């Protein structure tokens, strides 16, 4: 069992990441836990309230002298391990995790109450070819109707799922709420697998 490779990477990693990514240099930090059974390097962002938000954990197997990180495979419902052969692969994996985290943070700032006027204008500028008509997914008497429609963004080839929720009020006014979700081909299989594996946990609609 040797820790030489772990110590070398630990001492060089921060400098490498700062040199290839200006944004990481400004915001990224790392901590080292050498005492664990599988020592690890954790990467995080310090928040405004002096808390830490971790975006990547890099493990080291001292017996095989190799670095790896773990992800959860929703299709097979198990944890998978990705081995990183050299420092270039390690840097690339951490760098990619950092930017995935940053992009997710930006998306979280979007209003969850549906598309506002500016976002609607932006979506209307996207050229979508609708592959299906509006398909009714759920209907409750004459009060609630939920429909879905699937389309393709012509410029990027991404998929678009449009959800329209129509609710009739007691005064017969119709409330219409529309949301659009854009996703890539690579994301589609994960989304389908996540939904399929948790269908039994969903509850029936109740008023």
91 lies in some domain: yes
Higher-scoring residue by pLDDT: 105, 142: 142
State the pLDDT at residue 92.
87
**Range(s) of the domain holding residue 139:** 117-201
206 lies in some domain: no
pTM: 0.49
- Angstrom distance (rounded) from CA 186 to CA 76: 16
Q: Residue 119: is its pLDDT beyond 70? A: no
Listed in sequence order, the residues at least 6 apart from 109 whose beta carbon sits closer than 8 Å to its beta carbon are none
State the pLDDT at residue 110.
45
State the pLDDT at residue 115.
46
Query: What does the DSSP 8-state code read for residue 202?
Result: P
- Angstrom distance (rounded) from CA 22 to CA 135: 47
Per-residue model confidence as pLDDT tens digits over 151-173: 998 888 889 998 988 887 766 67
Per-residue model confidence as pLDDT tens digits over 59-102: 999 888 899 988 766 666 677 888 998 888 888 888 888 888 87
State the pLDDT at residue 149.
92
Q: Residue 185: is its pLDDT beyond 50? A: yes
User: Residue 182 in contact with residue 153, Cβ under 8 Å?
Assistant: yes
**Count: domains in the chain:** 2
Kindly indicate the confidence band of residue 113, based on its pLDDT and cuts at 50, 70 and 90. Answer: very low
State the pLDDT at residue 150.
92
Higher-scoring residue by pLDDT: 106, 87: 87
State the pLDDT at residue 194.
83
User: Residue 90 in contact with residue 58, Cβ under 8 Å?
Assistant: yes
Q: Residue 11: is its pLDDT beyond 70? A: yes
- State which of 51, 85, 108 marks the end of a domain: 108
Q: Which residues pair with 56 in a beta bridge?
A: 43
183 lies in some domain: yes
State the pLDDT at residue 124.
56
Q: Which of 11, 48, 7, 10 is nearest to 27 (CA)?
A: 48
186 lies in some domain: yes
38 lies in some domain: yes
Looking at the structure, tell me whether residues 98 and 10 fall in a common domain: yes
Looking at the structure, tell me whether residues 143 and 98 fall in a common domain: no
| Domain of residue 167, CATH code | 3.10.450.700
The per-residue pLDDT of the chain, averaged, comes to 80
Looking at the structure, tell me whether residues 51 and 103 fall in a common domain: yes
- Angstrom distance (rounded) from CA 152 to CA 50: 43
Q: Residue 121: is its pLDDT beyond 60? A: no
Higher-scoring residue by pLDDT: 161, 140: 161
């Amino acid at each position: 069992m040797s820790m030489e490779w772990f110590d070398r990477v630990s001492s060089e990693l921060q400098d490498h990441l700062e040199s290839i990514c200006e944004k990481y240099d400004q915001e990224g930090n790392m901590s080292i836990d050498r005492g664990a059974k599988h020592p690890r390097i954790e990467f995080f962002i310090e928040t405004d309230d002096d808390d830490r938000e971790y975006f990547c954990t890099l493990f080291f197997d001292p017996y095989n002298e190799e670095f790896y990180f773990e992800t959860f495979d929703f299709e097979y419902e198990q944890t998978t391990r990705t081995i990183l052969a050299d420092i270039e692969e390690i840097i690339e994996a951490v760098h990619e995790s950092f930017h995935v985290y940053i992009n997710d943070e930006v998306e979280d700032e979007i209003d969850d109450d549906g598309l506002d006027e500016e976002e609607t204008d932006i979506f209307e500028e996207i050229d979508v070819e609708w592959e299906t008509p509006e398909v009714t997914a759920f209907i409750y008497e004459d009060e609630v109707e939920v429909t879905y429609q699937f389309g393709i963004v012509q410029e990027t080839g991404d998929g678009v799922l449009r959800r329209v929720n129509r609710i009739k009020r007691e005064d017969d006014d119709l409330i219409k709420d529309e949301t659009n979700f854009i996703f890539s081909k690579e994301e589609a299989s994960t989304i389908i697998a996540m939904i399929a594996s948790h269908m039994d946990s969903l509850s029936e609609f109740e008023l």
